[in-house]
Amino acid sequence: MARMNLLLPAMGEGVIEATINKWLVTEGSIIKEDDPLVEVATDKVDSEIPAPTAGTLVTIVVKEGSIAKVGDILAIIENEQVQTRENTEKVEKEVERVRETITSIKQEKNDIEVLSHDLKSRTPSGKFISPLVRSIASREGISYSDLDKTPGTGMDGRITKEDILKLIDNRKVETEAVKAPVVLKTIKKDLPPDSNVNGDEVIPMDRVRRLIADHMVMSKRTSPHVTSFIDADVTRLMNWRNANKEKFFAAEGQKLTLTPIFVDAVARALYEFPMVNITVDGTNIIKKKNINIGMATALPDGNLIVPVIKNANEKNLTGLAKAVNDLADRARNNKLKPDEITGGTFTITNFGSYNNLAGTPIINQPQAAILGTGVVRKTPAVIETPDGDMIAIRQIMILSLSYDHRVIDGALAGKFLHKVKEILENYSPDTA
């Protein structure tokens, strides 16, 4: 009887650990291959880990609420069948993925050491500061004199990672405590005399909302945002879509929404302007080889997730429609895999879904730009004809591009945005 370890798989780039939310089976359960076994949560997504083989789950190693690292054994499965070559290869591939992740983590540690190499290794009084603590102190603007005053809980009074994170948290609490009386005084001043501030409902953020909040604040702190706007006359596009959406569904079995068309237009524009398809690494610009477009998707609980269409420029309209519909459906049902929300190089967010004209979206780090699409609405517009200018009812939408002004200037952003407009305004079956 063969035994197989259920390992915590690689959960996406930058993810090294996960919390065990809920076991979906109990010890002694008979399981089939690909049955969902356990729900896990990372700082990017909640997902299920399937059974790598059929058999019996004999031991649960990591209990609910515990944290496991990539490569840790979560459970043990017994299989009465002799492992086939295919199963063996599957296990070997998973082990290789785990090894690659561990190598990546080691590289990350090396990067921290390189980053902190030029910083002093000791405080004025002689306390040793590890490379990791030096890196955190530098990033958070903590002086060496402040570190000198921090009691270390490590061996010989060494300041640990937990010590410096506690110092950072205490600073935040002290800052909020100073602000609170002023804020409360202002609120009371602005409220009518009979208002009761104690009657307000306090709603704690859930885990996903806290992650979104932290990511948004980090993005604004990282990138100097600039937003450019342009309007697009999509009358021709809307007429084509309305005339062909039923035929498209009959032929392809897919709904033809505007989203895959937007993805198609952006993918082609990024191919022509690759310096928008970039990320920033310190003082280096990384031009991404692949065009992977994320689409911001609202969830039933009010939160947001961004599944990614990989190599969008290599797909035709049918392939994009299938990808968009599949990812959106599984996002709303919490069925996305970790690698389906990572690796994006550009993001699209649709303000038009809620009849909004436009917005100024926040860049999805570490990307350098994000496109907002507004509602398509009928409006009078001046059009040029061989007989002169005239006013007609046209279907107009506003496109907004937020970009990282460290690496994308107004000229490049303007050219890219105009290219997206040009593609949408001239969209037809021939270009699909």
pLDDT tens-place values along the chain, 432 residues long: 688 889 988 776 666 788 898 899 999 999 988 888 998 887 666 788 888 888 999 999 999 888 888 889 999 999 865 445 555 566 566 666 666 666 665 565 555 455 444 456 667 776 777 767 777 887 787 887 787 788 777 666 678 777 888 888 777 766 666 655 655 555 555 555 554 557 888 889 887 888 889 889 999 999 999 999 999 999 999 999 999 999 999 999 999 999 999 999 999 999 999 999 999 998 999 999 999 999 999 888 888 899 999 999 999 999 999 999 999 999 888 888 888 888 999 999 999 989 999 999 999 999 999 999 999 999 999 988 888 899 999 999 999 999 999 999 999 999 999 999 999 999 975 444
Q: Is 43 a catalytic residue?
A: no
How would you write 115-172 as a 3-class SS string? Answer: HCCCCCCECCCCCECCHHHHHHHHHHCCCHHHHHHCCCCCHHHCCCHHHHHHHHHHHH
Query: In Å, what is the CA distance from 272 to each residue of 230, 268, 287, 295?
Result: 19, 6, 13, 20
The active-site residue, picked from 35, 148, 231, 405, is: 405
Q: What is the pLDDT of residues 378-418, one digit of tens each?
A: 999 998 888 889 999 999 999 999 999 999 999 999 999 99
Residue-level pLDDT at 133: 77
Exposed e or buried b per residue across 388-408, where buried means at least 16 C-beta atoms within 10 angstroms of its C-beta: eeeeeebbbbbbbbbbbeebb
**8 Å CB contact between 373 and 351:** yes
DSSP label of 229 = E
Task: Give φ, ψ of 301 to 5 degrees.
Answer: -85, 5
Q: In the chain, where are the structural domains located? A: 2-110, 118-197, 208-425
Q: Which residues of 183-301 form beta strands (DSSP E)?
A: 225-233, 278-281, 284-287, 293-295, 297-298
Tell me the C-alpha distance between 264 and 194, whole Å. Answer: 56
CA–centroid distance for 52 within its chain: 27
Tell me the C-alpha distance between 17 and 43, whole Å. Answer: 9
Which residues lie below 8 Å from residue 431, measured CB to CB, with a gap of 6+?
423
Residue-level pLDDT at 82: 46
- In the CATH hierarchy, which fold is given to the domain comprising 2-110? OB fold (Dihydrolipoamide Acetyltransferase, E2P) (2.40.50)
Q: C-alpha dihedral over 220, 168, 342, 421, to 10 degrees?
A: 0
Taking residue 287's Cβ as centre, other Cβ atoms within 10 Å add up to 11
Tell me the C-alpha distance between 382 and 388, whole Å. Answer: 10
The active-site residue, picked from 35, 409, 418, 430, is: 409
Q: Please report how many Cα atoms fall inside a 13 Å half-sphere around the Cα of residue 95, on the Cβ side.
A: 8
Tell me the C-alpha distance between 209 and 192, whole Å. Answer: 32
Superfamily, domain 208-425 = Chloramphenicol acetyltransferase-like domain (3.30.559.10)
Please state the length of the chain: 432
Tell me the C-alpha distance between 283 and 277, whole Å. Answer: 17
Q: Is 409 a catalytic residue?
A: yes
**8 Å CB contact between 337 and 361:** no
